[in-house]
Amino acid sequence: MSRLLGKARMTFYHGKNSISIRTNDGKDTTLAALCKDVLPPCRLNPFLFNGDLQTMWTVLKSQAVPIYYKRRLFEQQDPCYPGTFALDFVVKPYEGSDEIGLPRTTYFSEEEFKGIASTDSRPMLVALHGLSGGSYELYLRHVLAPLVTEKGGWEACVVNARGCANSKITTPVLFNARATWDVRQAVKWLRETFPNRPLYGVGFSLGANILTNYLGEEGADCQLTAAVALSCPWSLDVSNLALQSTWLGREVYSRAMGTNLKRLYRIHKDSILKNSAIDPAEVERVRYLFEFDRAIQCPSWGYPTEQAYYRDASSTDSILAIRIPFLAISAEDDPIVANGAIPRGEFMQTPYGVLCTTSLGGHLSWFELGGGRWMARATEAFFQKIAREVDFDHYSRSHPLPEGEIRRFKREPLRPWFDPMRRKMHIEDAS
């Protein structure tokens, strides 16, 4: 009955020793209690009563969310990942021609960009979009919109994956599911350019996977204050096999994602094929997502199979290395992210994370009656609470873990230990 009425069940997963947080009024709470208190009830459109309907409505729904961007191209400084990436900044509405081919998006002039630095303390959100998407995506604009209004009081920017959102690929180095290098440089630049702004992160789908991996890699040194992951795929190998196990998963979702990536490949074919390990004939035969990963990602990064790539790029283990307040929201009926891929156990072993699952919502959808999205209201509520009411002078990133639960980084003689950030892909020293 609840499903027919659009009322979704919300379930929270977190460690017993969830980090202590002090609010500006001097009261102490925990991250888990804060999330449970601040997230609104999940009441969705009753006519979109399962994950497939919710997800397909994402494609069919067209709505104006007038966010304006100005773009700046950055050259990657890490010699292991050469190339450029595009950072789109939310700006005030402007009049002018569209240079990029996307609505309400143009480049900064050199004079404008020279004056972008600021010493203000407005909170700033760094967003990472989903697979083959960009700053223009409706789901992303829905989340940014309430925060970047004058009342919301936030600034925001979007890290576009290489080749996405009409950006150019200047080297054969494409993005992948653990491509944390561009967001790392972007955050470092933002910290230097806006020294007083607290920085926050939000990731959508594949962008959530990249963000989670980035947070884990940075650990206690992370420059972000808090982060949210929406519809993260988590265990990519589990979700991939689940997609292939049904006709709808394979012929609708996997085929659509494969088609989008193949279209991206064709746009940037000349640059990508500078990597002689990629067989253009094999890429042209691609129909499904896993076939694209087999034809492009495996030869690009040295993985023997796409499943090896999925296992190595998955973000489930990264949760255990995160040292900032981290909220993840996943729908149990997500047709792209298998319910079995959602890492409930990992969230129950870390004090820094809270996972909220909803029984309804689909993939990056959560549509309510009237066209709004519950995920946008939930994300806004969490970020505004953290930014406006939490006293981070009393917050520590050295929160102790329960004795004997998980061992990290400090190995005792003759005792086993678990390093959540150990990866199988190794980059040779470019120097």
Give catalytic residue positions: 205, 334, 363
Query: What six digits make up the tokens of 395?
Result: 């917050």
Please, what's the b/e burial string for 184-200 (b: 16 or more CB within 10 A of its CB; e: otherwise)? bbbbeebeeebeebbbb
- How far from each other are the two terminal CA atoms of the chain, in whole angstroms? 62
Q: Is 187 helix (H, G, I), strand (E, B) or coil?
A: helix
Strands 28-30 and 20-22: antiparallel
Distance CA 293, CA 270 (A): 18
Distance CA 105, CA 403 (A): 51
Mention every residue, 6+ apart, whose C-beta is less than 8 A from residue 13.
344, 347, 348, 354, 355, 356, 357
Task: Give the phi and the psi of residue 69 in degrees, each rounded to 5.
Answer: -125, 155
Q: Is 230 helix (H, G, I), strand (E, B) or coil?
A: strand
Distance CA 226, CA 216 (A): 13
Which DSSP letter does residue 317 get? G
Angle 363-330-259 (CA atoms, 0-180°, nearest 5)? 30
Distance CA 204, CA 226 (A): 15
Position 404, amino acid = G
Q: Which of 183, 344, 163 is nearest to 262 (CA)?
A: 163
DSSP class per residue in 121-147: ---EEEEE--TT--TT-HHHHHHHHHH
Distance CA 366, CA 372 (A): 8
**Residue whose tokens read 């929201």:** 329
